[in-house]
Amino acid sequence: MKILEKMSSIDRRVIFLLVALAVIIPLVANIGLPSRPGKYTIEMYGFIDRLPAKSQPLLIDATYSPSMMPELQPMLKAILRHCFARKVRVMLMTLDPNGPALCEAALREVAPEYNAVYGEDYVFLGFKPGSSAVIMAIGENVRQAFPADNYGKPLSEFPMMADVRNYADIPLVVSIAGSAITQGWVIYAGTRYHASVGAGCTAVSTADYYPFLQSGQLVGLLNGMKGASEYEWLNQRNGYSTARREAGKGMDAVSIVHLLLMLFIVLGNIGYLAGRRAAQKQ
């Protein structure tokens, strides 16, 4: 009985050590758990997959800081790979001052893989403060919010931007964010300016966006590292990417940690119930 009761008081250093091992081992070893793409990942993927090549550019807002990088950066890269492979043009922007270098890192890695040309296949608009004001300003005229790109070159000098004025000329807005700014995109870009909006968020905030999925205000949703991993899997299955599945590897570690956590919770509850029964007997 005492062994059962002790299960509710495992030293936290033991827990820390096991969690560290559960993260490190799957990242070092090649487990490669299979992915089963979820409904909302498929919907987002399908929407981008149906966009004609060399058409009007889609707008990606990558608003997150390095703390959310493991979940959201692979998502951004997977969407960029999908777009560049299909020759779908991209405008990339961020509403987080931490964002520009992360966007730049993703572009520097992905664009050369597909020989994507700056100004013809993609434009990096950079950071702009103002959150919802920027979203609304793009609804009036994208040049009002971003007169020039991240490097100071006027947007009018880019051939791919010639016919882009506002959301009416943007087939999809993808908000990849670690904050509530996605709701701003839904409310202002989606409801006020009738833009199609898709989202990618951290796993912890996924629950907040389900109402927008059901109402059709989001065309799809990538759920944290799982969503990124599924998107990478779809890219590889359709021959759009041969790059290493970054989120897929991360998902292996997440899977093992989830199982470990569940084991701890079960042990904790066994110990708790054993302790309660012992107290009742006394």
Partner 1 sequence: MRRQIPLMLVLVLGIFFFIQFFVPSRLSTNIYQVSLQWLILISAFAIVLAIGSLVNHHLLKIKRRREHWPYSYATLAGLVVMSLLGILGRFPGLGLLDEIYYRLYLFVQAPMDAAMFAILAFYMASASYRAFRARSKEALLLLVSGFFIMLGVIPLGALIWDRIPDIAEWIMMVPNMAAKRGILFGVGLGITATSLKIILGIERSWLGGGGK
Closest CA relative to residue 163, chosen from 228, 98, 215, 91:
91
Any contact of residue 157 with partner 1 (CB under 8 A)?
A: no
Q: Does 154 interact with partner 1 (rule: CB under 8 A)?
A: no
By CB under 8 A, which span of 42-50, 63-71, 154-162, 193-201 interacts with partner 1?
63-71
DSSP codes joined into one string, 26-95: HHHTT--PPP---HHHHHHHHHHHTSPTTSSPEEEEEE--GGGHHHHHHHHHHHHHHHHHTT--EEEEES
Q: Tally Cβ neighbours within 10 Å of residue 224.
A: 24
Single-letter code of the amino acid located at 22: A
Nearest distance from C-beta of residue 55 to partner 1, angstroms? 27
Sequence-separated (6 or more) residues with CB below 8 Å from residue 16:
none
Question: Cβ distance 229 to 241 under 8 Å?
Answer: no
Contacts with partner 1: how many residues (CB under 8 A)? 65
DSSP annotation of 190: I
Tell me the closest approach of the beta carbon of residue 141 to partner 1, in angstroms: 7
Among 120, 157, 168, 210, binds partner 1 (CB under 8 A): 210
74-133 residues near partner 1, rule: CB under 8 A: 97-98, 101-102, 104-105, 128-131, 133
Q: Which of 10, 42, 148, 243: binder of partner 1 (CB under 8 A)?
A: 10
By C-alpha distance, which of 223, 187, 179, 177 is closest to 40? 223
Binding to partner 1 by residue 193, rule CB under 8 A? no
Residue 70 lies near partner 1 (rule: CB under 8 A): yes
Q: What are the residues binding partner 1 (CB under 8 A)? A: 10, 12, 15-16, 19-20, 23, 33-36, 38-39, 65-70, 97-98, 101-102, 104-105, 128-131, 133-134, 136-137, 140-141, 144-145, 151-152, 203, 206-208, 210-211, 214, 223-224, 226, 251, 254-255, 257-262, 264-265, 267-269, 272-273
